[in-house]
Chains A and B, each alone.
Chain A
Amino acid sequence: MSKHLISIHDFSKEEILKVLSLASKFEERKSDPIFSDKVVASLFFEPSTRTRLSFETAANRLGARIIGFSDAVNTSVTKGETLKDTIKMVSNYADLIIIRHPLEGSARYASEVSSVPVINAGDGANQHPSQTLLDLYSILKTQGRLDNLNINIVGDLKYGRTVHSLMQAMSHFKPHFRFTAPKELRMPEEYKEQLKINGIPFDESERLEDGIENMDIVYMTRVQRERFTDAIEYERVKNVYSLKNEMLDFAKPNMKILHPLPRINEIHQDVDNSNHAYYFEQAGNGVYTRMAIIKMLLDKIDI
């Protein structure tokens, strides 16, 4: 039984499927105030409005009350309080803690000192497991299955935390991957090695336009300026990895485009009205997925 949600690596295939099935039940019901006697602490040591609103909406739809902060600037943390002390204190107030923290491993550590369940809402560049679960939920919902899908992952494959977690979680379901990235941001060898060990086929390309036709999912990610030492190279890459409506002419009817948001110009606005665009619904799915996670941890469901 999982007491906390810290890393997608802690989840087996069966556990992932259980969370997704619970999420679909919440999608049917929208609100389900089963936790009106519970207090959820939302501790954002660095701001992330999108993630915080999604979690707090999920907690509200379950009827729970929320305490916390959206940024550590005006808290005792800036006065040098250790993470341990903050968590020890808050776990005496709340029934569940949601934590976002810039240091990697902070959520794992918080789960060790907390007396209540902890959800990792992002620990630096390490893990963001609720994002991965909502991505899987979106894939399952649009494709009707998770097994044997063709998935093209595009953009920053070197540093992208979302990408690595998604790839590892999808590896339970016999995917065929395509990795589309400029050579500076290619998928690291250690991850490719892992795929080979698990017998999961993949190919690599620098050309986005070649990787649309046979795909079930095209997962776009942001290419960040700070990854490039050369500003001209950044401008070039930014424009090459931009998905436009005209590129979708030969896409399969079931193909969906996902993006963890916010986007810069990886997806042109003219794609938004296409039947293939799914990134805004994907964000909405985050609420149901997070309701499922909260319920699972507060109920101590044996998953």
Chain B
Amino acid sequence: MNLLELNGVSKVYGSIYALRNIDLAVERGEWLAIMGPSGSGKTTMMNIVGGMDKPSSGTVILDGVDISKESAKNLTAIRRDKIGLIFQQFHLINYLSALENVMVAQYYHSLPDEKEALEALERVGLQDRAKHLPSQLSGGEQQRVCIARALINYPALILADEPTGNLDETNEGIVMDIFKQLHRDGSTIIVVTHDPEVAEEAQRTVVLEHGKVARIVAANGEAAAYYEK
């Protein structure tokens, strides 16, 4: 069964079509990459899939529920229970420690559990940095805190928008290793990226252009080839 299905999804801003009639299915446990030039609708699609925005038309089925017409209140619950978000800008709360940043997600989900939050930091290799503020962490470390926060409530779907866009090669490697581990553990992952190497790791790459799916390529080097054109 598919975890996610988009059927004829469009998003219109005034006269601009950010997304135009998208059809897409993502299987449980699949690792999907989304590529495309700037302004092609990648972020818009992530917002709609993650329950942060609604399509102008079409339906979005997440885990058997049509989230395209849900109320704001229900969407909040869906984000809380089903979605893990990883950002290019990390978006850590600057006055909270790494551990507390992870616990924020627990707090809104159910109850903060320090032990569990520490375990999540351990999984991304940051157990020694638990008490550090974001400003005391490197970019790569901040991104790993962000990943720990995204994973803490066992989301059905992990959405990452340019997760390695602000990282150097070493940290990109560390983050990609974490993604690979998540994939082996059975997580469903959608990664937006400009980096062909990152896309290569995914099973399929969806290429967006002008709000439309230009093509879908399997992980056999074609994505890199596409992007170099």
* A and B associate in one complex: no
Binding site for B on A (CB under 8 A): none
Binding site for A on B (CB under 8 A): none
